[in-house]
A and B are shown apart, each in its own frame.
Chain A
Amino acid sequence: MADDARSAARPAPACEVAAQVRSGALTARHVVERHLSAIAELDVELHAFVTVVGEEALADADAVDRRVQAGVDPGPLAGVPVALKDNMCTRGIATTCSSRILDGWKPPYDATVVERLRAAGAVVVGKTNLDEFAMGSSTENSAFGPSRNPYDLERVPGGSSGGSAAAVAAGLAPLALGSDTGGSIRQPAALCGVVGMKPTYGTVSRYGLVAFASSLDQIGPFARTVADAAALFDAIGGHDPMDSTSLERPAPRCVAAVGDGVTGLRVGLVQELLEGAEPAVVAAVRAAAETLEAAGASIEECSIPEVRHALPAYYLLAPAEASSNLARYDGVRYGLRVDAPDVAAMQGATRSAGFGPEVKRRIMLGTYALSAGYYDAYYAQAQKVRTLIIDAFDRAYQHVDVLLGATTPTTAFAIGSKVQDPWSMYLSDVFSVPSNLAGHPAVSVPFGADWSGLPIGVQVLAPALGEAAMLQAAAVIEDGAPPLAPPGVWAEPLGTAGWSSGGRA
């Protein structure tokens, strides 16, 4: 390795890399080359990536370096490699949603988040694996095979953004984007020991995000630290005229808020967000509460019984929206077509061959919930329960500023252990879906490990647009968390000494 490699030998969090690239101490090309070689070496084991875009990434890195040389600020994420969940459109680069039905499709446009990443100086290094169309909690529902957890290759990284979570955890990219419809950022973040945040609905443009359930989908960041997640959120957030559900607000400024502390912050520890969780997970959440209290927050135990109905409501509403959104895959305009003599037969055969079992299951469930005779009992009832949950959160937030609970009931489970039993898989999302139904932000922060060394995530929830207070609490929890050893699969070329901020030996 070149001499200047030593300055990057430690896996510096994204903000640190960007600072060094902006100052000229490190070139973006060097940073990107190091990450590309780590991907080449380690992703054989993890299968975090579906597509790696080495040539494009190096060209983008060179453009950043040219700006630095010309004295132009390349942006707050200058030279930082970012992995994109493969349900975000990239112009001219395959966007698969880990589905056969998009076989061969290359989007003719970039998602808004991709344009914003580029404007911030970040460099997209690849597209990550997901459960097909983001439907799943393990990344096993990928047409290209499962991704693996860097802490234990026999276990899932969670899902649906499992590839993004695994890539960040293993040091293959300092940052990644995922999408969270029912926990698909927070759950894999918890299982892989990284920070994962679902922002308030409408704060990050969904233009170019392939739709799963439009009233629930939201793009958000993965990072190894809370400050890095905040920086990525700030870079991608803000109004976008291309998304009619985008909030007309200026871009968020959360980086500044992280580190402000939690003195006087009122935190509600939600009983229902611990129910059924493994003892190690419950203990971690309670320890996180103590950390907040020691830092000056007040802790109040609270009960929000309505969230018990969130999972059933979610598993009617999300499939219903999906069954409608996925009607567009009809073999006419893009992707796969299985030829047949007439259109109806072509569509039935195309969709049968193109969709995997979980996507078919959700389309079936959603179609059923919307069908004549069942609409009121299932879909309409779930929409009313959604109102009850939102009202219950509103009442809770009259007394507290943020809520605390577990992200997931368990740590990473074994590959194959839940695929035959859909409801047991859906239970992975039991603590994460309430925030999606309400449109609220929530973040998962690593907090130590269980007895077998698997990471545990603690979840901080906030009311709409409460990201700043939420991330302040998350940063304090991060500071007080027990050390988490690096995973077994870890980008050695990027350093062996430090996990987050530790120095070299």
Chain B
Amino acid sequence: MDTSPTRHEPARLTRQDAAYVARLARIDLSDDELDQYAEQLATVLEHVAAMSALDTSGVEPTAHPLPLRNVLRADDVRPSLGRDEVLAQAPAAESGRFRVPRILGEAL
């Protein structure tokens, strides 16, 4: 994957680029979907090209409209959501825990 795009170059995305992004996003996509998203993403990137070309040297980025600060509270015990109530929403639970398929490659 090209990792050094120049700003004015029209965006081109291949099926392989889309597959890489889909893998980062943990979404299984068919080849047809990959082709469709590659094309549509390229179209969007063309529309943002003028913005990407703006001179923003010396401009501070804005991550958030408010001046954020950490919000702390006293570390005292308060009621929280019940464990069983929360686990009841899980696709699979066992012995008071979420149950998931195996995470590591090797067999258990």
Report A's interface with B, CB cutoff 8 A: 104-106, 108-109, 201-202, 215, 241, 244-245, 247, 309, 311-313, 315-316, 323, 327, 330-337, 339-349, 351-352, 355, 360-361, 363-365, 367-368, 371-374, 377-378, 380-388, 390, 422-423, 426, 437-439, 464
User: Which residues of the partner chain B approach A390 to less than 8 Å between Cβ atoms?
Assistant: 62, 65
In contact, B27 and A384 (Cβ under 8 angstroms): no
Closest 5 CB pairs of A and B: A439-B65, A383-B61, A373-B3, A337-B91, A312-B48
Contact A108/B86 with A335-B91, A422-B40 known, Cβ cut-off 8 Å = yes
A452 to chain B minimum Cβ distance, whole angstroms, is 29
Q: Which of B18, B28, B90 is A352 in contact with, Cβ under 8 Å?
A: B28
Contact A368/B28 with A108-B85, A244-B71 known, Cβ cut-off 8 Å = no
In contact, A106 and B51 (Cβ under 8 angstroms): no
| Range class of the B interface residue count | 35 or more
In contact, B73 and A360 (Cβ under 8 angstroms): no
A360 CA to B7 CA, complexed, in Å:
25
A341 CA to B90 CA, complexed, in Å:
18
A245 CA to B67 CA, complexed, in Å:
9
Q: Which of B22, B66, B98, B105 is A332 in contact with, Cβ under 8 Å?
A: B98
Contact sample, A vs B, 22 pairs, CB 8 Å cutoff: A108-B89, A202-B66, A241-B73, A244-B68, A245-B66, A313-B51, A330-B26, A333-B89, A334-B90, A344-B26, A351-B27, A352-B29, A360-B27, A373-B3, A378-B52, A381-B52, A385-B51, A388-B56, A390-B62, A422-B43, A438-B65, A439-B65
Find the B residue at minimum CB distance from A360. B27
Q: Which of B2, B18, B28, B56 is A364 in contact with, Cβ under 8 Å?
A: B18
User: Which residues of the partner chain B approach A104 to less than 8 Å between Cβ atoms?
Assistant: 89
User: Which residues of the partner chain B approach A309 to less than 8 Å between Cβ atoms?
Assistant: 50-51, 54
- Chain B residues 25-77 with CB under 8 Å of chain A are 25-29, 33, 37, 40-41, 43-45, 47-48, 50-52, 54, 56, 59-66, 68, 70-71, 73
Find the B residue at minimum CB distance from A385. B51
10 more A-B contacts (CB under 8 A) besides A342-B103, A360-B29, A386-B62? A104-B89, A108-B82, A333-B90, A347-B26, A351-B26, A360-B33, A372-B3, A383-B61, A423-B47, A439-B66
A387 CA to B64 CA, complexed, in Å:
10
A133 to chain B minimum Cβ distance, whole angstroms, is 14
User: Which residues of the partner chain B approach A333 to less than 8 Å between Cβ atoms?
Assistant: 86, 89-90, 98
Q: Which of B1, B51, B71 is A312 in contact with, Cβ under 8 Å?
A: B51
Contact A348/B90 with A108-B81, A364-B41, A381-B56 known, Cβ cut-off 8 Å = no
Find the B residue at minimum CB distance from A202. B66
Q: Which of A106, A215, A247 is B89 in contact with, Cβ under 8 Å?
A: A106
In contact, B66 and A247 (Cβ under 8 angstroms): yes
Report B's interface with A, CB cutoff 8 A: 1-5, 7, 18, 21-22, 24-29, 33, 37, 40-41, 43-45, 47-48, 50-52, 54, 56, 59-66, 68, 70-71, 73, 81-82, 85-86, 89-92, 98, 100-103, 105
B23 to chain A minimum Cβ distance, whole angstroms, is 8
In contact, A332 and B91 (Cβ under 8 angstroms): yes
Contact A343/B21 with A315-B44, A373-B5, A384-B59 known, Cβ cut-off 8 Å = no
Find the B residue at minimum CB distance from A215. B64
Q: Which of A332, A335, A371, A374 is B100 in contact with, Cβ under 8 Å?
A: A332
B51 to chain A minimum Cβ distance, whole angstroms, is 4
A152 CA to B52 CA, complexed, in Å:
39
User: Which residues of the partner chain B approach A384 to less than 8 Å between Cβ atoms?
Assistant: 56, 59-62
Contact A383/B62 with A108-B82, A333-B98, A337-B91 known, Cβ cut-off 8 Å = yes
In contact, B40 and A361 (Cβ under 8 angstroms): yes
Find the A residue at minimum CB distance from B13. A368
User: Which residues of the partner chain B approach A372 to less than 8 Å between Cβ atoms?
Assistant: 3
User: Which residues of the partner chain B approach A352 to less than 8 Å between Cβ atoms?
Assistant: 27-29
A17 CA to B56 CA, complexed, in Å:
52
A309 CA to B51 CA, complexed, in Å:
6
A323 CA to B26 CA, complexed, in Å:
10
In contact, B48 and A364 (Cβ under 8 angstroms): no
In contact, B100 and A343 (Cβ under 8 angstroms): yes
User: Which residues of the partner chain A approach B56 to less than 8 Å between Cβ atoms?
Assistant: 381, 384-385, 388
In contact, B37 and A361 (Cβ under 8 angstroms): yes
B11 to chain A minimum Cβ distance, whole angstroms, is 10
Find the A residue at minimum CB distance from B5. A377
A123 CA to B52 CA, complexed, in Å:
47
A426 CA to B85 CA, complexed, in Å:
39
In contact, A342 and B102 (Cβ under 8 angstroms): yes
User: Which residues of the partner chain A approach B48 to less than 8 Å between Cβ atoms?
Assistant: 312-313, 315-316, 378, 382
Find the A residue at minimum CB distance from B99. A332
A49 to chain B minimum Cβ distance, whole angstroms, is 23
User: Which residues of the partner chain B approach A380 to less than 8 Å between Cβ atoms?
Assistant: 61
In contact, A365 and B81 (Cβ under 8 angstroms): no
